[in-house]
Amino acid sequence: MKGILLAGGHGTRLNPATAVVSKQLLPVYDKPMIYYPLSTLMLAGIREILVISTPDALPAFRRLLGDGAGWGLDLQYAVQDQPRGLADAFRVGRDFLAGAPVMMILGDNVIYGGGLSAHLGRAAGRTEGATIFAYPVRDPERYGVVELGTDRRAVHIEEKPTQPRSNLAVAGLYAYGPDVVEVAAELTPSARGELEITDVNRHYLDQGTLDVEVLGRGIAWLDAGTHESLLDASAFVHSVQARQGLMIACPEEIAFRQGFISRDQLAVLARDLASNDYGAYVAALAEGASS
């Protein structure tokens, strides 16, 4: 399975903080926002990842992430010159996907918690159909909403309903079989002129091949796309890291623990990092791994 990380858009909800910088480059506590969705894909075992962004922002992502080789990844980049909707990513990424299944995540999503790897593993293991991730919220009318039947399978999905039929919001993380490229190619733009991911998911629902992974107690899903939620996400990360002494969304650590890089490669990464708390954490990890 390959990965797509959507880091486009203009970040208007975060203006003026995003007047001259992509929101996915803003810090969520001690790391760039894009580290968090990137880490989620890595936890799913995905090593080939396409970062899609705007023409103005893409060079900064290249400078930050490079080709990913240091983390045992193959990072590639593509431009979405206009905001044509989430499903447009499959058109942009057609050549990159080359017939492979895909997991796509939005660049402002922070997902963390016990049991997450099991959810990701089940979704990453599929070769056909679709898996969406759902999360219970108090204000489902703000999101795409999925309703489950008595057998815990999806029976209805709707974008920002005025009268939600459940409290399960569709999180910005999706997995699809290779045919998603053709599904997206046949979509027509919505009233707002975009190719809607909800229409893609509804296709699989109609086909009876839409699975739902419900992220429940013990897992946090934060959309860091507003000033308030960005602050909340930073406070959450700070609280967990300060309490546990463990990093959230540290690509160096995940790459090592996933077997993407060796102990020696981790030690090289540690030497190249700044002498701050982040660098000290990776250095201690490398020293512990070598002892």
Report the chain's mean pLDDT, rounded to a whole number: 94
pLDDT tens digits for 102-130?
999 999 999 999 999 999 999 999 899 99
Per-residue DSSP letter, 256? H
Between CA 16 and CA 18 the distance in angstroms is 5
Mean pLDDT of 227-245: 96
Between CA 224 and CA 215 the distance in angstroms is 17
Cβ atoms of 3 and 102 closer than 8 Å: yes
Confidence of residue 291 (pLDDT cuts 50, 70, 90): very low
Pair type for strands 27-28 and 31-32: antiparallel
Cβ neighbours around 239 below 10 Å, total: 11
pLDDT tens digits for 245-258?
999 999 999 999 99
Between CA 222 and CA 234 the distance in angstroms is 10
Between CA 130 and CA 126 the distance in angstroms is 8
pLDDT tens digits for 23-32?
999 999 999 9
How many Cα atoms within 13 Å fall on the side-chain side of residue 81? 0
pTM, entire model: 0.96
